[in-house]
Structure 1
Amino acid sequence: MDLVEIQSLHRVSVAEVTSPTFQLAPPRVLNPDYIPAHILDAMRPGWFTGAFPAGRVRVTKLFDVYVTQEGLVFTQDKKLVQESITQHTPEECAQGLAQIVQAEQTQSVQHVTPSSLLLRKRGEQNYGHWMVELLPKLWLAEEHLPLCSLVVPQAGGNFARVLRDSVALSTGFVPLYHPMSPQDVSFFKELVLVDGLSNHGVYMSPLAFSRTDAMVASVPGAQVRKLYLTRKNRARRIRDEDSLMDFLQEQGFLCLDPADLTLLEQIKIFKNAECVVGVMGAAMTNIMFCRKGTRVINLAPGTMPDTFFYFIAGLRGLDYYEIRGKICEESESWDVPFEIERDHLAHVLSLGPQGQAN
């Protein structure tokens, strides 16, 4: 597999934007002993870097390239563009090349003429990845060049509605859409790439939230002040969650699963929240719509190597905690039931604004 960096290709450098410096303190974590050493090592660059230097975000137009898998970009001579790799495994990269070769042989390559912006990455069907790592690329790109088509994940159901609503709510742009599944192969005469906004798990640019406040301001807020987000009946759920939910409801929490809510409904509910408790997962992305200072308590198995919500909370000025729980079975996966002790949650709920006991 031949790799090529974007700078060595025939291209137009549209813009180079400086991402601001920022500083994040390590997260406040209850039960850090539940985190295995290798998982902690994976999160260390995100959690413990502290001072993040200025970054560089580039908008680049490429010519005559293929797109396949979850946003992998190949040149006409089948070299993989390094900057399009986002947590793809070597096997997925090799599969992408094989799909292009097969599509050429079967004449199933779709040719796209309009200038198109790539809004795809590994894990593209995840609500959080779309809202924080893909949609903001559109915000940046449209400030520097006229756009026609958006290359987006093939989506259905509520996620498809969220995808289009988020574009309509945050831009004045009415695009053509070019949806793609990981198995599709398309050839683009002009493809715009934005890189440098995020490096999943390691870095997130403040520019990822450049229009978030404007989105929130355009939606009236609900009167809900305390929210609990469940993952009931799905992987990575809390054992005996009903008991925990009973406790939270006694404390005045509204318990809900945002999965079937529209984007506007999600913004409305989170806009005025003062405390959000939830199981670590895509629904917790909605903390990006909360006001500065909102307390966020993220519940997660100790084996889950995730810094995504820590970055969101830090860059949005939220009062962020994690409570790590013990998994209920021997497993290498973090998508298994886990335990959260009610007393631990009650303790964090009782803390003052600076983490001091009331």
Structure 2
Amino acid sequence: MDVVDLHALHRVPVAEVSSPAYELTPPRVVNPSAIPLSIMQAMRHGWFARTHASRPVTLTKVFDVYVTMEGLVFTQDKKLVRQSIAQHTPEECARGLAAIMQTEQAGSVQVIRPSSLLLRKRGEHNYGHWMVELLPKLWLAEEYLPLCSLVVPRVSGNFARVLRDSVALSTSFQPLFCEMDAAEVLFFKELVLVDGLTDHGVYMSPLVFSRTEELRARIPGTQVRRLYLTRRGRSRTVRNEDALMAFLQTQGFLCVDPAELTFAEQVKLFRNADCVVGVMGAAMTNIMFCGKGTKVITLAPASMPDTFFHFIAGLRGLAYYEIRGRVHGPAEDWNAPFDIETDDLARVLGIALPHGAA
């Protein structure tokens, strides 16, 4: 498969913005010795780079391109645009090319003529990826050019409402939505690409939070000050969660699953929190709506190779901790149930347990 650099295409450069340099201290981690070496190596740059230099973020309009496989962009002569590869595996890239060839052979390629902004990437059905890695592209693009259409993943249920509400509440733009299934193929006459805001697990630009304070100011908060976020009924759950929740409720925590809340309800719930505890997962993205200095305690299996929430917390000025727990299942399975010791959590919360209470 041929891969081509965006800058080698027939294109119109729209803007280049300088993402500010910043410093990021490593997270405070409980039980770091439980993390497998391979997982630690995968997170090393995200956790320990400390200095993140200024980087360019570019907006570019390209012409006559295919989009498929969660945001892969191919030229008319079937070359894959390197900058559109975002955590895609080589196999997924090959399937994208095959999907284009099959759609062409069937004579069923749909052509999209309005100028469109690409808001897709691998893992696009994840609320965190949408809020941090996709929606901010709209915020930036809106500053520099008129837009007609947003190319977004086709989602259902509450996430479909959240996606549209997050656009409506953070922008004056009233777009057309061009929804795509994961492996669907569309051909765009004009497509706008934003490159450089994030490199998942390695880098996150401060620009991704350019409108977060505006959102916080627009939506009044609740009186809730302490939150626990559960993932009950899904993968990656705390095995001893009932005991953990009972302990947290004695400490004034509201235990909640934000999965079915509206976008505004999620902002409202987190806006005034001064302590958030939760299992590592999409709902923890909402810590971006917390005020500076909020204590955030993420509970994660030792095998979870993720720096996403560390970046959010660092860029938003939050006091961030991780408690890593022992996995019940294959050592490399980060979706398996895991244990969190109550005394570990109490220690991070600054609570002295009675002897034997843990």
Q: TM-score range by the shorter chain?
A: over 0.9
Is 2:208 the partner of 1:204?
no
For 1:184 and 1:199, how far apart are their aligned partners in 2?
24
Q: Report what 1:39 is aligned to.
A: 39
The count of aligned residue pairs is 351
Deviation at 1:331, TM superposition (A): 4.1
Q: Report what 1:57 is aligned to.
A: 57
For 1:109 and 1:9, how far apart are their aligned partners in 2?
22
Deviation at 1:330, TM superposition (A): 2.8
Deviation at 1:110, TM superposition (A): 1.3
For 2:73 and 2:216, how far apart are their aligned partners in 1?
34
Q: Report what 1:313 is aligned to.
A: 313
Deviation at 1:46, TM superposition (A): 0.5
For 1:238 and 1:175, how far apart are their aligned partners in 2?
40
For 2:331 and 2:297, how far apart are their aligned partners in 1?
25
Q: Report what 1:281 is aligned to.
A: 281
Q: Report what 1:303 is aligned to.
A: 303
For 1:233 and 1:171, how far apart are their aligned partners in 2?
34
For 1:69 and 1:21, how far apart are their aligned partners in 2?
32
Superposed CA deviations along residues 230-254 of structure 1, whole A, max 9, x for unmatched, are 0111110001200100000000000
Q: Report what 2:248 is aligned to.
A: 248
Is 2:15 the partner of 1:15?
yes
Deviation at 1:332, TM superposition (A): 2.4
> Mapping of 1:81-230 within 5 angstroms?
81-230=81-230
Kindly report structure 1 stretches of 4+ aligned residues shifted beyond 2 Å: 329-332
For 2:290 and 2:350, how far apart are their aligned partners in 1?
20
Is 2:212 the partner of 1:235?
no
For 2:315 and 2:256, how far apart are their aligned partners in 1?
25
SS at 1:12 equivalent: strand
Q: Check conservation: 2:303, 2:331, Cα contact below 8 A.
A: no
Q: Percent identity?
A: 69
For 1:280 and 1:108, how far apart are their aligned partners in 2?
41
Unaligned runs of 5+ in 2: 352-358
Q: Check conservation: 2:4, 2:80, Cα contact below 8 A.
A: yes
For 2:56 and 2:321, how far apart are their aligned partners in 1?
30
Q: Report what 1:354 is aligned to.
A: none
Deviation at 1:328, TM superposition (A): 1.5
Q: Report what 2:259 is aligned to.
A: 259
Q: Report what 1:2 is aligned to.
A: 2
Amino acid in structure 2 at the alignment position of 1:109: V
Amino acid in structure 2 at the alignment position of 1:110: Q
SS at 2:247 equivalent: helix
Q: Report what 2:354 is aligned to.
A: none
RMSD: 0.7
Q: Report what 1:68 is aligned to.
A: 68
Amino acid in structure 2 at the alignment position of 1:341: E
Deviation at 1:329, TM superposition (A): 2.2
Superposed CA deviations along residues 37-56 of structure 1, whole A, max 9, x for unmatched, are 01000001100100100011
Superposed CA deviations along residues 240-288 of structure 1, whole A, max 9, x for unmatched, are 2001000000000000000000000000000000000000000000000
- TM-score, length of structure 2 as denominator length: 0.97
Per mean C-alpha deviation after superposition, the further-off stretch among 193-202 and 105-114 is 105-114
For 1:333 and 1:104, how far apart are their aligned partners in 2?
39
Deviation at 1:165, TM superposition (A): 0.4
For 1:331 and 1:183, how far apart are their aligned partners in 2?
31
Deviation at 1:26, TM superposition (A): 0.5
Deviation at 1:182, TM superposition (A): 1.4
For 1:110 and 1:164, how far apart are their aligned partners in 2?
24
Q: Report what 2:271 is aligned to.
A: 271
Q: Report what 1:356 is aligned to.
A: none
- TM-score, length of structure 1 as denominator length: 0.97
Per mean C-alpha deviation after superposition, the further-off stretch among 304-313 and 106-115 is 106-115
For 1:234 and 1:185, how far apart are their aligned partners in 2?
31
